[in-house]
Amino acid sequence: MAKAVARPVPFTHVHLDDVFWAPKLKVNRERTLRAQYDQCQETGRIGAFELGWKPGDPNQPHIFWDSDVAKWIEAVAYSLADQPDADLERLVNEVAELVASAQQPDGYLNVHFTVAEPEKRWTNLRDWHELYCAGHLIEAAVAHHAATGNRVLLDALCRYADYIGTVFGTGEGQKRGYCGHEEIELALVKLAGATGEQRYLDLASYFVDERGQGDPHYFDVEAQARGEGVEALLHRHGGHSRYEYNQSHVPVREQSEAVGHAVRAMYLYSAMADLAGALGDDALKAACERLWADLTERKMYVTGGIGPSSRNEGFTSPFDLPNETAYAETCAAIGLVFWAQRLLQLDLDSRYADVMERALYNGTISGVSLDGERFFYVNPLASSGGHHRQSWFGCACCPPNLARMMASLAGYVASTTADGVALHLYAAGTIDADGRQLTVATEYPWDGTVTITVGTAGNWDLALRIPGWCRDWSVSVNGLPTEAEVTKGYAALRRDWMAGDQVTLNLAMPVALVEACPRVGDDLGRVAITRGPVVYCLEAEDNGIDPRLLALPAGAKFVTRWEPGMLGGVVVIDSVALAPRLDGWQGELYRPAGSTAWTQVPLRAIPYYAWDNRDAGAMAVWLPLH
Amino acid sequence: MAKAVARPVPFTHVHLDDVFWAPKLKVNRERTLRAQYDQCQETGRIGAFELGWKPGDPNQPHIFWDSDVAKWIEAVAYSLADQPDADLERLVNEVAELVASAQQPDGYLNVHFTVAEPEKRWTNLRDWHELYCAGHLIEAAVAHHAATGNRVLLDALCRYADYIGTVFGTGEGQKRGYCGHEEIELALVKLAGATGEQRYLDLASYFVDERGQGDPHYFDVEAQARGEGVEALLHRHGGHSRYEYNQSHVPVREQSEAVGHAVRAMYLYSAMADLAGALGDDALKAACERLWADLTERKMYVTGGIGPSSRNEGFTSPFDLPNETAYAETCAAIGLVFWAQRLLQLDLDSRYADVMERALYNGTISGVSLDGERFFYVNPLASSGGHHRQSWFGCACCPPNLARMMASLAGYVASTTADGVALHLYAAGTIDADGRQLTVATEYPWDGTVTITVGTAGNWDLALRIPGWCRDWSVSVNGLPTEAEVTKGYAALRRDWMAGDQVTLNLAMPVALVEACPRVGDDLGRVAITRGPVVYCLEAEDNGIDPRLLALPAGAKFVTRWEPGMLGGVVVIDSVALAPRLDGWQGELYRPAGSTAWTQVPLRAIPYYAWDNRDAGAMAVWLPLH
């Protein structure tokens, strides 16, 4: 049975005051959330819910605008639950009430298809994001109610979900459809959890299991009903399989390869993991495990970025991981975190937490500037210097997605298990796991020493994740070295805890060069510099040269230094690199091998997530060995 | 003054009976030309000239069909001039007469805009290839007349060119336009040469010099006349500058960087070189030299392929030369040969011949299978095994372009200079350079010994190109070692030649590893295997493994062997490579650097041009050093 073996300790029960996340959460709260409110206002996304738009007016509400506002509501709600803020609460309540006011008498709630194209409601599930927007509104409603106790949005979204439940399903007269952009599935699981209503879980199951069923395919049925040829989607997405693009090529239980649009895939797989746990559904869990292996063993950047291609915002062939043209959408890495956390509750296997950590410290937070107000949609692993964060996007899915992930970050730290508490991420702060209190002190990820003070006596397991990146670790209790059995990457300490007991985990955290599987052609003969969970990169700013030209000499030695004033406080890594002399190349592009002189130059690496926060310049993660 | 210092010895005066080209010319004559005739027939391209198509009929003649038939006529004409063939001559005369019969009373000659959209004549020079098709018909007509003496096509195209001359120009009531796809410019220079008519040279000059002039831009003027917004082209070509795409962003004399669509660029630059020589125009020559430096020092593959991107079929940023996604259109490499040969006549500088040779032995002839009947449009330098030649294309520019280049290949071998004869390419055969007879014996490119027997007495220079790839060479006359002064890469021997004098050039031709300028990120830390002018590659077929996984150990030794029965006769290169052990990678994508074991495996390299002629499999040119 696939029933979950663990439950996340909710972020409301974890308080972070650490050196790494706490300042970022503060920036998120104080800068990002407000900046995004301004963007949603200025672009008309919030005002659109007044339903004042009329044909002929400028700035027609876009089909995915609702989701941007929804994610902002969700992010603010998480932030309020963690840290009250009267001003933000007033704002979010206003917006929530405005959103709810846009609900139609039959329960429908979607700005575009209410004011702009009402006759097209539910006529193109494949492309028009209606159920996707509904899903984000549901997530927002659940979060808003949990944070504020205000039911206005939750009640509205229950009505909407109930209406959706009348439209879609296998019953007489119902549409056997599902959304081209998955999202509503995981949202309905949340709604079931918030309301205790089984029918929302059933509807989530329907959407997940109906996907890829049916012959003819539902998306072709509705395309023909619109008078379109069935080739339409094939052309829209540049020759990619029209079904694989949105993971509807085969029923989900038969899927084994991560395909198509990466964000859609992550949201679907997250719902599959949710349902596997909620229903004890082994087949769904097995599908997740196959997809996980395909994704993390063949299709994931070292940063946790996924989906290399801009053509489909998604997956290509195994081991195709180009660096400079990497798409690696911020939302996709965030989606990977969502999925990893869910699988982790099913198994308590640290390989899920390893990937979650990889994405959290690298490929997700690279998406936001240190000042919290500029964002990457695309996260390449090398750059000529022309790729920069922007304050907003026409398709603005990533900024509020980052905001809600950051505001709920503390929720990824720990789980309650049958036998006690499991720690996944290490960050200074306090944890209340169903009454078991822990206080964590650490400078992680800059230092590998983690001290956990037990606040609640009793006989229970404290399971400590030993990160996959760590080759040398030890644990002591009250200063005495202790043996701990490691199961699926977690070192479990079971004892009669006394309040005040101190557990110290020492994770050796040297600079480590990593290599990719040789099948990754773009990284063959190259290494990436890492330390702990943090992947490093080289920027021209620090190295005085386009770092894409630099090579690492064999046996390079590395020196680390904590730089509190740099990039919000980072450990930098210094070493020497080899730089080719370019002055002999005038007039030539190809020469006999070995005719380039290489000179030693200083090398400085900074955390990848912090790149592009200073002067524009080239960047590289993978360096050739020379 | 930029007047030409040399004239190519026409291919009709060079007879090749060598080991490399002669068999390929035979395949071209006996297989390719007939297969392409069949394709042009079956697809309706030839029949279209009967002007029988009516609105509503299937298979509407495409705007560029005329050019495919024209290039086939040109190729057959060259072949006939070299080797009479009554059957081919009957066919080409039939087709030429059919083409001429499609001429309209006013001289216009274009199938699509006669039968399908007559009202759109000259309304979209930017996109619709009208003058491009005219240019190819002119080249066909000149070749057909030269080969057969038949004037039917030449007379028709003179009438068409005269009509074009009334439509375009700076005079009252004339359109100040020029073609979005250059081609007519170099064709008009040929027509001027064939007819002695200055007005065709003047029209070529007009088209070249008008390009990029004018504010508003001509292409915007005509777009607005069509009722389009000026943004149309910007969208068509994925955000690339609408003007740079077709080299009309600034007047040609101000251009310094190779930009946009690569074939268009090559045809334009070729016309610029033609006019520089014909008119002694130093400014045009200087522009060519700037563009040449930009192209060959920053934007050319080691195979002579150019134009890395499929998005614009053309150029991107300097040093952006990805291997597996290389576009490197066959036509673009052919265009580079055209341009290089023209610049070579202006300067007799072997850097032009070096590039010409690089493209001829590698990136052009890779475009045709050894059986002469399948073609690459795109010539990547690495492949997962999914890229294969096809017998034809909807856009079929490359196959007949290859056919005409191959049929006139002997015309690239030598030039007549003011002082004598210059040899650019080495191939066994006979050369009659304005009465000076030479007989060449060599196994080039498989062996570097070239013996030239002088057939005509007299006092003149024999200039022998010392290839840029050659680091060690010597020359002897009648067995006696001789010093020769090398000027711009040509070793000049001046003496009173006696009939029967024998000159022997020894070009050391070891296996040579080459490296790219380190700015080429995709090749950093990698080498390509070459020997003489031939670039080698590794195919899975010979190596039993995806060669993209292989690395070369430092100090690898190479053994060459002539394999007469393999791939039409090639020298293969054997060595050892290092292959990563993949069996430790189950379940992992990233590991500590150095944890992969590498084992020695046999390596076999074959000439790049000959890849994909056996079982489908992966291929690589650039190998990392390990």
Quote the longest CA-to-CA distance of chain A.
Answer: 77
Beta strand pairing call for A622-624 and A414-417: unpaired
pLDDT-derived band at B231 (thresholds 50, 70, 90) equals low
What's the mean pLDDT when you consider all of chain B?
95
Give chain B positions within 8 Å (CB) of A594.
513, 515
Q: How are beta strands A590-592 and A622-624 bridged, if at all?
A: unpaired
Does A241 have pLDDT greater than 70? no
**B587-605 per-position pLDDT tens digit:** 899 999 998 999 999 999 9
Taking CA atoms, A590 is separated from A594, B302, B361, B383, in Å, by 11, 7, 16, 22
Can you give the pLDDT at residue A239? 42
Count of beta carbons in the 10 Å neighbourhood of residue B389: 19
State mean pLDDT over A225-230: 81
Q: Which of A516, A518, A590 sits opposite B514 (nearest CB)?
A: A590
Q: Any chain B CB within 8 A of the CB of A462?
A: no
Residues of B in contact with A384 (CB under 8 A): 317
CA torsion A522-A525-A530-A536 (nearest 10°) is -50
pLDDT tens track for B187-203:
999 999 999 999 999 99
Share of chain B above pLDDT 70, in %: 98
Inter-chain touch A549–B515, beta carbons under 8 Å: no
Residue A538 at interface with chain B, using a CB cutoff of 8 Å: no
pLDDT at A231 over 60: no
For residues A469 and A165, give the distance between their C-alpha atoms in angstroms, rounded to a whole number: 45
Q: Is A42 on the interface with B (CB under 8 A)?
A: no
* Interface predicted TM-score (ipTM): 0.92
CB atoms within 10 A of CB A346: 21
Q: Where are the alpha helices (DSSP H) in A211-319?
A: 218-225, 232-236, 262-279, 282-298
Contact call for A521 and B548, based on CB within 8 A: yes
With CB atoms and an 8 Å threshold, state whether A596 touches B520. no
Q: Do A302 and B585 touch (CB under 8 A)?
A: no
pLDDT grade, residue A238 (50/70/90)? very low
For the stretch B117-163, pLDDT in tens is 999 999 999 999 999 999 999 999 999 999 999 999 999 999 999 99
Mean pLDDT for the stretch of residues B17-22 = 97
Q: What is the mean pLDDT of residues A31-55?
A: 96
pLDDT of residue B82: 85
- Chain A: residue nearest B510 by CA? A592
**Number of A:B CB contacts under 8 A?**
126
Residue A235 has pLDDT above 50, yes or no: no
The structure tokens 């904590």 sit at A562
* pLDDT confidence of residue B240: 45
Contacts of B520 in chain A (CB under 8 A): 589
Q: Which residues of B touch A549 (CB under 8 A)?
A: 518-519, 521, 524
Give the type of residue at B123.
Answer: T
Shortest distance, CA B251 to any CA of chain A (angstroms): 25
Q: Do A524 and B596 touch (CB under 8 A)?
A: no
Q: Strand pairing partners for B461? A: B420, B494
Over residues B209-231, the mean pLDDT reads 88
A519/B302 touch (CB, cutoff 8 Å), yes or no:
no
Res. B215 pLDDT band, cuts 50 70 90: confident
- Candidates B515, B528, B587; nearest CB to A596: B515
Q: What angle do CA B415, B421, B423 make, to 5 degrees?
A: 65
Distance from CA of B556 to the nearest CA of A (A): 12
DSSP-derived secondary structure for A161-191: HHHHHHHBSSSTT-B----SS--HHHHHHHH
Report the catalytic residues of B: 313, 397
Q: How confident is the model at residue A3 (pLDDT cuts 50, 70, 90)?
A: confident
Convert the pLDDT of each residue in A299-335 to its tens digit: 999 999 999 999 999 999 999 999 999 999 999 999 9
Q: Please tell me which residue, A471 or A1, carries the higher pLDDT value.
A: A471
Q: A474 CA to chain B: closest CA distance, Å?
A: 20
CB A502 within 8 A of CB A478: yes
Find the residue in A nearest to B525 (Cα). A624
Which domains does chain B possess?
6-412 (1.50.10), 415-507 (2.60.40), 511-624 (no CATH)
CA distance A177 to chain B (A): 33
Contacts of B594 in chain A (CB under 8 A): 513, 515
CA atoms A381, A382, A387, A389: torsion sign:
positive
How far is the alpha carbon of A191 from chain B, nearest alpha carbon, in Å?
Answer: 35
> Phi, psi (5° rounding) for residue B85?
-160, 105
Question: How many CB atoms lie under 10 A from the CB of residue B618?
Answer: 22
* Chain B residue with Cα closest to A311: B311
- Provide the token pair at B159: 């009438």
Q: Would you state the pLDDT for residue B230?
A: 57
- Complete edge-to-edge strand list for the sheet that includes strand B429-433: B14-16, B429-433, B436-442, B449-454, B502-507, B473-477, B480-482
- Asked if A233 and A245 touch (Cβ cutoff 8 Å), the reply is yes
* CB-based contact A526 B525, cutoff 8 Å: yes
Confidence grade of residue A215 (pLDDT, cut at 50, 70, 90): confident
Q: Is the pLDDT of residue B232 over 60?
A: no
> B566 at the A interface (CB within 8 A)?
no
